[in-house]
Amino acid sequence: MAISRSQLLKELLPGLNALFGMEYKRYGEQHKEIYETETSERSFEEETKLSGFGTAPVKTEGSAIAYDNAQEAFTSRYTHETIALGFSITEEAVEDNLYDSLSSRYTKALARSMSYTKQVKAANVLNNAFNSAYKGGDGVALCSASHPLVSGGVNSNVPGVAADLNETSLEDAVIQIAAWTDERGLLIAAKPKKLVIAPSNMFVATRVLETEQRPATADNDLNALKTNGSIPEGYTVNNFLTDPDAWFLLTDVPNGLKHFVRTPLSTQMEGDFDTGNVRYKARERYSFGWSDALGLYGSQGAA
């Protein structure tokens, strides 16, 4: 349905001093702080995790060398969604408007809606990270204590007991990440890079990561997290996280959280000959997901 003069009565009256409601500031592209972005030329993308070899055995003199087999561990699929929204304005509404261009004003609102939708979809991956209904390529949730390995073991990217963000829980996370292995049980020397938090944790994060001495203690100990550079990229606040207690650590493990762009954002405008209405639309195609769950460590918080 087109936006008509009946929906814009106040905008058509002389003496109106201001129009407001669509000029609020908006949060930027926060997904870029979390995801690695790649382009795609297909309706979906698949990424397969490979298993390497185990430890090399001792070869006794005169015996044959041992051979090992490599294999595929699992495959992650990214299915792109089409996100689109539009609006239409009647010819009469455009003609009778006494103030700023209607099309310009509502095009800004359209851009706001498209941007907001992308940030919600990006955050949904983390908001559902502990939900077993949202499985990755290895058959478990993004943040799980039971990521299966080809060797028969498991990796865990959650704490043994869910904990709120504090000095102890962060130190435990750094230690746990250092113990991760590959599919055959070989240590992978993983390290955390950046802390991702909801707004309610921003002050805790500042105290834990940026003070010189240990926070919330009368001791004169150094803040080991800061001194050791344990989380080199600091923290980023994501305003679209729905759990105020949940927190995440991005790691240096490659092919973790990914954002595929199939079709960049584009806008179009056209007029209808019969009605004279002017239609505007915005459209893009993309997907958010993860390949290797070890690209992330997460805690739901104690609450």
pLDDT tens string, the chain, 303 residues long: the values are: 554 444 444 444 343 334 344 555 778 899 999 999 999 999 999 999 888 888 898 999 999 999 988 888 899 999 999 999 988 888 777 777 644 466 677 778 888 889 999 999 999 999 999 999 999 999 999 999 999 999 899 999 999 999 999 999 999 999 999 999 999 999 999 999 999 999 999 999 999 999 988 887 777 788 999 999 999 999 999 999 999 999 999 999 999 999 999 999 988 888 888 888 878 889 999 999 999 999 999 999 986
| pLDDT value of residue 24 | 58
| pLDDT value of residue 153 | 92
Question: Is the CB of residue 288 less than 8 Å from the CB of residue 121?
Answer: yes
| pLDDT value of residue 167 | 94
- Distance of alpha carbon 288 from alpha carbon 259, whole angstroms: 5
Please state the pTM of the whole predicted model. 0.86
| pLDDT value of residue 288 | 98
Instruction: Enter the CATH code of domain 31-51+75-299.
Output: 3.90.1690
Q: Where are the domains of the chain?
A: 31-51+75-299
Question: Is the CB of residue 295 less than 8 Å from the CB of residue 253?
Answer: yes
Question: Is the CB of residue 102 less than 8 Å from the CB of residue 89?
Answer: yes
User: Encoding tokens for residue 86?
Assistant: 């539009």
Within 8 A by CB and 6+ apart from 24, the residues are none
- Distance of alpha carbon 264 from alpha carbon 84, whole angstroms: 12
User: Encoding tokens for residue 235?
Assistant: 């923290």
Q: Please report the DSSP string for the chain in residue order.
A: --B-GGG-TGGGSTT-----SS-------GGGGTPEEEE-SSSEEEEEEEE---PPPPPPTTPPPP----EEEEEEEEEPEEEEEEEEE-HHHHHH--SS-HHHHHHHHHHHHHHHHHHHHHHHHHHTTT-TTSB-TTSSBSS-S-EE-TTS-EE--S-SS---SSHHHHHHHHHHHHT-B-TTS-B----EEEEEE-GGGHHHHHHHHH-SBPTT-SS--B-HHHHTTSSTT-EEE-TT-S-TT-EEEEES-SS-EEEEEEEEEEEEEEE-TTT--EEEEEEEEEEEEES-GGGEEEE----
| pLDDT value of residue 110 | 85
